C-alpha cells in the first residue's frame, strides 16, 4: 500500500511548483560511460535552496498553517539543508524559525539559514545532540517542533521522485542517500503510487552506517559516531518512523567511503560542471561501486544537494578527501 494517494501527491506537486519549477533530470554521456549504464541524474542541486529538502519545507509549513493557525514560530535541528527549507517556508508564511546546529557545522550553510531569516543556535557535538536540544527548546518556548521526519515532509520531497518517474518510468533502479530518511521514503511513496516496479537502493556512509546495519538486522542500531564530511548522511541514530517504511521497501543499502564520495564529487564537476555536496554525490558513488552489477541497466541517481563549503570543495577538487576531526 502506498503512503499517499495519487491525489495527495499531485496536490503536493501543485504546492511545490507554485513556489519553484520542477528540477531537471539529465542523462550525461560521460556519467553513463563511467557507470556502463543508462544513468539519469535528478538535479535537486537546482532548487532555490540547492537541495531537495526545500520541497518538504513547502508542504510542512502549509500543513502547519492550516492545522495549527495559532503557531507563530518553529524550531528544528539540522546540518543545513532541512534548516534552510524550513526557514525559507516559515518566513514566507510569517513565522519565525529557530534552527539548532551542532558545533562545527558548515559556516556557509549557517550563513544561508540566517539569510533565509532563521535564528541559528549551535549546540552539541553532532546532529543527534542538536536534535535533542531542539526538542528541549520546543518544550520551554512557544515554538512548534519540526521533526527530522514527518508525513508532510515526506509528501513534499516525494514530488522530486514523482517528477523523475514521470520523465523516466523505465528506470530499473534508483540510488538515493539516507540521512533521516525523508528522501528515500519519498521515492518509495512516488514509486508505489505510480505502480512502478523500480528497485530503490539506499546509500549511507561507511562512517555512519546505522541505517544499513538496522536494515540488515531488522532493528534500530545506533553508531558510535558519524564523522563523515558528507553531512547529509552524518546521522548516528536512524529515525524509527522512516525505518518502519524503508525496512520493507528498499532493495538493499550500500555503504560508501568518504574517498568514494569525494571521487564522485570530482566526477560530477569535471563531467557535468555541477557542484555536489557529499551526500549529493553518494548515490553516484554507490552506483560506481556496483558498476558490474548494474551494467547495461537504466538507473537513476539522486544528486540531492550542492551545498558544500568552498574550502571543503577546494580540497576535493585538489584530489583530497576532507577529514572530520
Q: Where are the domains of the chain?
A: 6-52+151-317, 54-145
| Average pLDDT over every residue of 103-130 | 93
Q: How confident is the model at residue 224 (pLDDT cuts 50, 70, 90)?
A: confident
**pLDDT tens, residue by residue, 165-197:** 999 999 999 999 999 999 999 999 999 999 999
CATH node for 6-52+151-317 = 3.40.50.1100
**pLDDT tens, residue by residue, 35-59:** 999 999 999 999 999 999 999 999 9
* Percent of the chain whose predicted confidence (pLDDT) is above 70: 100
Q: Tell me how far apart the alpha carbons of residues 244 and 249 are, in angstroms, rounded to a whole number.
A: 9
State the residue for C-alpha cell 518556548. Answer: 141
> Does the pLDDT at position 16 exceed 70?
yes
pLDDT of 308: 95
Architecture of the structural domain at 54-145: 3-Layer(aba) Sandwich (3.40)
- Asked if residue 207 lies in contact with residue 226, where contact means CB atoms within 8 angstroms, the answer is yes
Q: How confident is the model at residue 80 (pLDDT cuts 50, 70, 90)?
A: confident
pLDDT of 139: 84
- Asked if residue 175 lies in contact with residue 299, where contact means CB atoms within 8 angstroms, the answer is yes
Beta strands (DSSP E) in 44-169 are 73-77, 96-101, 119-122, 144-145
Cell of 103: 558545533
| Average pLDDT over every residue of 295-310 | 97
pLDDT of 128: 85
Q: Is there a common fold for 6-52+151-317 and 54-145?
A: yes
Q: Report which of 271, 266, 272 is spatially closest to residue 321, judged by C-alpha positions.
A: 266
Cα 291 versus chain centre, distance:
23
Q: Tell me how far apart the alpha carbons of residues 73 and 132 are, in angstroms, rounded to a whole number.
A: 18
> Does the pLDDT at position 141 exceed 80?
no
What is the CB-side half-sphere exposure of residue 167 using CA atoms within 13 A?
Answer: 17
| Average pLDDT over every residue of 97-121 | 94
Instruction: Decide: helix, strand or coil at residue 20.
Output: coil
Amino acid at each position: 500500500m502506498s503512503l499517499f494517494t495519487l491525489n495527495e501527491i499531485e496536490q503536493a506537486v501543485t504546492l511545490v511548483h507554485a513556489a519553484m519549477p520542477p528540477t531537471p533530470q539529465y542523462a550525461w554521456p560521460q556519467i553513463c560511460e563511467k557507470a556502463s549504464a543508462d544513468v539519469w541524474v535528478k538535479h535537486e542541486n537546482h532548487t532555490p535552496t540547492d537541495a531537495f529538502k526545500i520541497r518538504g519545507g513547502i508542504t510542512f509549513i502549509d500543513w502547519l498553517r492550516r492545522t495549527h493557525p495559532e503557531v507563530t514560530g518553529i524550531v528544528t535541528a539540522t546540518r543545513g539543508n532541512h534548516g534552510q527549507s524550513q526557514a525559507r517556508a516559515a518566513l514566507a508564511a510569517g513565522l519565525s524559525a529557530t534552527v539548532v546546529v551542532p558545533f562545527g557545522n558548515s559556516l556557509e550553510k549557517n550563513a544561508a539559514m540566517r539569510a533565509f531569516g532563521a535564528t541559528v543556535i549551535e549546540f552539541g557535538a553532532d546532529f543527534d545532540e542538536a536534535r535533542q536540544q531542539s526538542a528541549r527548546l520546543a518544550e520551554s518556548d512557544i515554538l512548534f517542533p519540526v521533526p527530522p521526519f514527518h508525513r508532510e515532509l515526506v509528501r513534499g520531497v516525494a514530488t522530486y521522485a514523482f517528477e523523475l518517474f514521470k520523465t523516466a518510468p523505465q528506470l530499473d533502479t534508483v540510488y538515493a542517500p539516507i540521512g533521516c530518511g525523508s528522501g528515500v521514503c519519498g521515492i518509495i511513496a512516488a514509486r508505489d503510487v505510480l505502480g512502478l516496479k523500480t528497485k530503490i537502493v539506499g546509500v549511507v556512509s561507511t562512517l555512519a552506517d546505522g541505517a544499513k546495519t538496522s536494515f540488515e538486522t531488522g532493528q534500530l542500531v545506533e553508531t558510535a559516531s558519524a564523522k563523515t564530511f558528507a553531512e547529509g548522511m552524518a546521522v548516528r541514530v536512524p529515525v524509527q518512523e522512516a525505518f518502519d517504511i524503508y525496512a520493507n521497501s528498499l532493495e538493499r543499502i550500500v555503504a560508501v567511503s568518504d574517498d568514494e564520495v569525494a571521487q564522485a564529487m570530482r566526477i560530477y564537476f569535471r563531467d557535468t560542471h555541477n557542484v555536489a555536496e557529499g551526500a549529493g554525490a553518494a548515490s553516484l558513488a554507490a552506483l560506481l561501486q556496483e558498476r558490474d552489477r548494474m551494467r547495461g541497466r537504466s538507473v537513476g541517481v539522486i544528486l540531492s544537494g550542492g551545498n558544500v563549503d568552498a574550502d571543503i570543495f577546494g580540497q576535493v577538487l585538489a584530489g583530497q578527501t576532507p577529514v572530520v576531526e
